[in-house]
A and B are shown apart, each in its own frame.
Chain A
Amino acid sequence: MTFSGEFLAFMGIALVAIIGGVLLLNLTKVVHMVVALIFTFVAIAGIYVLLSAEFVAAVQILIYSGAITIIMLFGIMLTKHDDENEPKTGKWRKILVFLGIVGFAFAVYIGIYNFNIEQVSTALHENNTMQIGKALYSKYIIPFELTSVLLLAALVGSIILAKNEKKGADNE
């Protein structure tokens, strides 16, 4: 295996992503966990750049490390967040879950170990955004419009769910 620049970049980015995930599991304060996960999301955007998907990388930074992290921080701030996340979960349950996940990871790793298909040269990196736009507005136009309906339904549904019902009854 040659240590080219691309390989070194992949190793660095993967290390940052995994460290962010491990910090999510090990930190005690809830806000710190969410902030640790921002590193993982940004590192995944770097992985997308390595895979010549620049537009998906930009969307990843905008949606995940921007919107979803902020909305999760709002969720923490609006609920009870002063107590530390003390481990009241049973020790046996943690061990069992860990063993199950290790078994799952091993089974999948056998599948992807030595997975190699011949690389075909691609033109994905040339005008990436234009290619995505053409595909989105010609071949995938119906799923694209259905996504807007889904987002509208999520918007209305979350407003209805989070609305304070007493105030709503007073206004009506």
Chain B
Amino acid sequence: MKKIKDFYIKSIAVLLVVLSVSCKKTLETLPQDTIDASVALTTTAGVRASLANIYSTMKGESFYGNRFIGLGDALADNGQATNKSGRYINEVRNISGAHFNHWSGAYIAINRVNIVLEALPGIGDASDAQKTAWEGELKFLRALYHFDLVRTYAYIPGAAVASVDKGGVPLILKATTTAGDALNIVAPRATREAVYAAIYADLDEATVKAPALGAGANAKAFATKEAALALYSRVALYNKDFAKVVSVSNTLITSRGSTLLNPSNYVAGFSTKENPESLFEITYGIESESLGVNVSLQTLFTTLKARAASPKNDQVETNAEPKYPTSETAGFGDLVPTNDLLTALGITAPGNGLFTLAANAGATMITSRSNDIRNRLFEVGSVRRGNVFVECTKFLGRNGFVNTDNVPVLRIAEAYLNRAEAYAEPGAQQNVVLALADVNTIRVARGLTPAVGLTGTALMDEIMLQRRLEFAFEGHRFFDFKRKALNIPKPTTGTTVNFDSFVILPGIPVADIDASKGTLIQNQGY
């Protein structure tokens, strides 16, 4: 019997070991790299960090970090592809699919805006004034994300191909936070009118609630009243709401018109981290934010690491005097100006793209330049990546690190040109004298003589030419064709992309079309 007793004592001991481990607690393992969603957005720190994330999306390759700037010129008549890394060849050829692709990233960011907006009332450690300022900032961001979607994925008001017009884009104004809502979301494309109305509504609040633009360093990195006015001016122009363009531009030019650069400081303005003309810049603060040698705008536009002084900036480098140390490489310089744009900028370079180190070392490639100060931001590239082209140097590691440049999104010059165009358009606001005055403000600021006596088509042509020169390699050109329903000439091939071609609009990601169960309509041709 002793054995049996012994046995029972042992087995009870074993049982105790088994059962002492309570199931629930033993299985608890919480992450340390991430935090519980319910506590993430309850403090000022949480809001600030969320805002940083929402801004940071715009730095990405699909947004202002690369495609928003590069595509505006590649899809139009400003850019030609050099095939140095193989990038942007299809974009320059307007091939189906080589287009904007920020759809998913933008909607994810919009939801994050909405999440923070809905969380604002519950932030315990922030003043009401602070919450109002945040609201203004968030509304600006939501307006910008929606606008960048609707101007690309949909036709622009007054410039649609009716037979293939699928309306605007989905308008997302409420936060999705649960799996159930996320799995079952239904958001068809809203009408263009509804989307623009929502953008107006957000900007109406942003222009009032967002903080004023201060003088501090990096102040332009964030949304301000002035940034909201500048965006409003652009949105109204696209919406062909010319009276609105005039009124918001007036307000903005009154406060910020003096920041317009002139021929003496224009090149310097484009050589510093922050452009004095900017009202809103996508800002890169630290080296690790750089998009790197494959994706950054510097690598896309140029093989250079620094601007050369005259006359070296017009010459092909030599082995003896390279443009930067031979152990270093800079970018690929995949997208460079067409000869057509160079001519418009007043640059004569007959050997563009044909010169090489072997055959032309030391040769002068740019044989003459006009007085247009803007052409000083274009110079002969390096021989390191093959044939030499004239390249745009607006992005040149200005932030102090290679491949890292702030991206000016809204500049004061645009307000002048928007207003000039609005004054030149028919309507109650039409005033060709003021239109000419505005365009001359820009001409003079860029080293040109004032134009005289322009009216009608000649006036509008001059305004559009100044837009082309002013914003070359800043991502505007394609939209200037698109919003005016114009065919796009392709100077390198002598062909034309007609406005009614389906490649004017990008395709919506197929995954979203498939997941929408028929509620989301794809653009024609995809």
Bound together: no
Chain B interface residues toward A at CB < 8 A: none
Chain A interface residues toward B at CB < 8 A: none
